[in-house]
Amino acid sequence: MLDSPSLRAGSVRYAGATASAVGIQAPTAGVTFLPALMAAIVGEAGPLAFLLALLAMLLVSYSFIVLAADFASAGSVFAFNGRALGYGYGFISAWMLLGVYIAYSSSIYASNANFLESLAMSAHVAIAWPVFALLFWALAMLLAYRRISLSTMLIFALEGVAIVLVLIVAVVVLVKGGSGGHAVSAAPFTLNGLPVATLGLGVIFAFTGFSGFEVSATLGEETWRPRRVIPVSMIAALLVSGGIYVVMSWVETIAYPSATALASQSVPLVDIAGRYVTPAMGTIINVAALISGIGAQLATVNGANRLLYALARDGFGPRWLSAVNRHERSPVGALAVVGVVSLVAVVPFMLNGTTPIDAFFYLATYGADLIIIAYLLTSIAALAWSIRRRQTGVVRVTGLVAAIVVMAYIIKGTVSPIPAPPFDLCIYAAGITIAVGMTLLLIPRLRANLSRSTLFAAAPAD
C-alpha cells in the first residue's frame, strides 16, 4: 500500500453527514421542474405519488441503516454487502454505485449549466451551455480536493439557503389560497378516479428523485461516531428531501387551475414565484436551484471519490488510486479518475447539440437504472446479514422483506415494458455496466486481491 495518510477520522459531524445525503438529492433544484413532469404522468395526484415514494424509500433505507449500524467504511456497499454475501457480491454492488455517482455528477454539470444559461439569457448574455458545464466541473474538482469538513458544511449552507428561498414561495402561495384564491385542499393526496397502476408509474418516477440518500455512508471513516451518526443522517435526509418534494409538489399543483396547466410548464416554480411573489423572485428561485445543484454535484463527486478510493485500497486497480493528500486528507488519486470519467461522460452531449436538460435526463436515468438494482442487492444483503447474526426479530425481518418487495416492484416497473427511445438506451447502458463489472471479477489477480482484503475478515467497525 502507498505510504500515504488515511482519511481524517472524526472530521464530519451529524450536520455534515446529513447535508451530503440531502445535497445529492438536490430537492430545491428538483422541485423547480419535477412536479410538472409528475403532473404529466398522474395529473393532480402528484403529491400523493411523492408521498408514497417517500414511504417506500424509507423502507429501503432500513436496509442501509441495518448495515451502517455495524460497519463504517468509505466503501459503503462494498463493505456492507461484501461482508454479508462475499467480496464478489460487494464489488458488483460498489461498481454499480460508483457508476451511479459518476453519472449523477455528470448529469448535474449539465443541469447546473441549464440553470446558469437561463440566467445568462435573461441578462441578454449568450454563452453556450458546455462552457458553463466545464466551469461547474472545475468547481466540483476544486472543492472535492479540499478537506471533507469544508465540503460537507458548504453543502449544508448552500442547500439550507436554497430551501429557505423555496419555502418563502410556498408560504405566499398558501396565504393567497392558490389558484383563484380558494384552491388549498387535500384533493391532490387522493386518487380522484386515477387508476392505481398509473399512480404506480408516478411512484416509480418519484422514487428515483429520492435516490442517493445513502451517500453519507461513504463518509463512514471520516464521521464522528459513524455507527450512530450515519444511520440517523440517512433518515433525516430522506425526511427533509421527501418533505420538500411532497409539500412543494402540493403547492405547485394548487397554484395552477389544472394539472394540464402545471404539466405545460418547463420550470413551474419559477413561473409561480414570478406570479405569486414578484417577477424578481422567479429569478431568485432560478438562483436557488443553481445553489442546490452546486451542493449536489459536490456530494456526488465526494461519494464517487471515496467509493473508488476504498475499492482501490482493498485490491481493485493500481495502488495510486488509494493515495490521500497529506494536508487536505482527501483521496486525490481516485479524484483524478472520477474527474476525468465524469467529464468524458457529458462531453458527447456537449458536442452533438443535445440540450443541457436532455443531457441531464439521459445521464440521471442511466444512474437511476443502476441504483435501483444496487438497492435491491443491499436489501438482500441486509436480510442475509441479519440471519447470519441471528437478529431475526419480526420487525426487522418484515421491514427487510418489504424493502426487497418494494425494490422488485420498482425494477419491474422500470424495465417492463422497456421505455421508449432514447431512454431504452439508458437501460441497455446500465446492463453493459453491470456486465463489465462481472467481467472484471473473472480477472484472477483482481479476484485474489479482493479475497485477501482485510475488509472481509475484520470485525464490524466500532
Q: What is the mean pLDDT of residues 150-177?
A: 94
Q: Which of 90-104, 369-383, 442-456 has the lowest mean pLDDT?
A: 442-456
Higher pLDDT, 188 or 445: 188
Name the band, by pLDDT with cuts 50, 70 and 90, for residue 245.
very high
Name the band, by pLDDT with cuts 50, 70 and 90, for residue 131.
very high
Q: What is the mean pLDDT of residues 183-201?
A: 92
Q: What is the mean pLDDT of residues 180-200?
A: 93
223, β-bridge pairs: 12
Per-residue b or e along 146-158, where b marks 16 or more CB atoms closer than 10 Å to that residue's CB: bbbbebbebbbeb
Name the band, by pLDDT with cuts 50, 70 and 90, for residue 124.
confident
**d(Cα 199, Cα 250) in Å, to the nearest integer?**
15
Name the band, by pLDDT with cuts 50, 70 and 90, for residue 344.
very high
Which DSSP symbol is given to 264?
A: T
**d(Cα 54, Cα 81) in Å, to the nearest integer?**
24
Name the band, by pLDDT with cuts 50, 70 and 90, for residue 43.
very high
CB proximity list for 193: less than 8 A, separation 6 or greater: none
Which DSSP symbol is given to 258?
A: S
Instruction: Measure the CA angle with vertex 48, ends 44 and 52; round to 5°.
Output: 150
Find the distance separating the first CA and the last CA of the chain, reported in whole Å.
Answer: 23
Which DSSP symbol is given to 461?
A: P
Q: What percent of the chain has pLDDT over 90?
A: 81
pLDDT at 423 exceeding the cut of 60: yes
Domain boundaries, the chain: 14-447
User: Could you tell me if 46 and 265 are in contact, meaning their C-beta atoms sit under 8 angstroms apart?
Assistant: no
pLDDT value at position 1?
42
Supply the angle between the helices 332-351 and 87-122 in degrees, to the nearest 10: 50
- Quote the mean pLDDT of the chain: 92
pLDDT at 102 exceeding the cut of 90: yes
pLDDT at 145 exceeding the cut of 90: yes
pLDDT value at position 454?
66
Summarised one tens digit per residue, pLDDT across range 9-36 is 999 999 999 999 999 999 999 999 999 9
pLDDT at 8 exceeding the cut of 70: yes
pLDDT value at position 455?
67
pLDDT at 460 exceeding the cut of 50: no
C-alpha cell at 346: 457529458
Q: What is the mean pLDDT of residues 316-321?
A: 88
CB proximity list for 124: less than 8 A, separation 6 or greater: none
pLDDT at 246 exceeding the cut of 80: yes
The DSSP string of 111-179 is HHHHHHHHHHHHTT----HHHHHHHHHHHHHHHHHS-HHHHHHHHHHHHHHHHHHHHHHHHHHHHTTSG
CB proximity list for 348: less than 8 A, separation 6 or greater: none
Q: How far, in whole angstroms, is CA 323 from its chain's centroid?
A: 26
Q: What is the pTM of this model?
A: 0.92
Q: Give domain 14-447's CATH superfamily.
A: Amino acid/polyamine transporter I (1.20.1740.10)
pLDDT at 457 exceeding the cut of 60: no
pLDDT value at position 459?
41
pLDDT at 462 exceeding the cut of 50: no
CB proximity list for 451: less than 8 A, separation 6 or greater: 87
Per-residue b or e along 8-37, where b marks 16 or more CB atoms closer than 10 Å to that residue's CB: beebbbbbbbbbbbbbbbbbbbbbbbbbbb
Q: What is the mean pLDDT of residues 159-184?
A: 94
C-alpha cell at 80: 456492507
- Integer angstrom CA distances of residue 258 from 79, 262, 266, 360: 48, 7, 15, 27
Q: What is the mean pLDDT of residues 351-373?
A: 93
CB proximity list for 113: less than 8 A, separation 6 or greater: 129, 130, 131, 132, 133, 136, 356
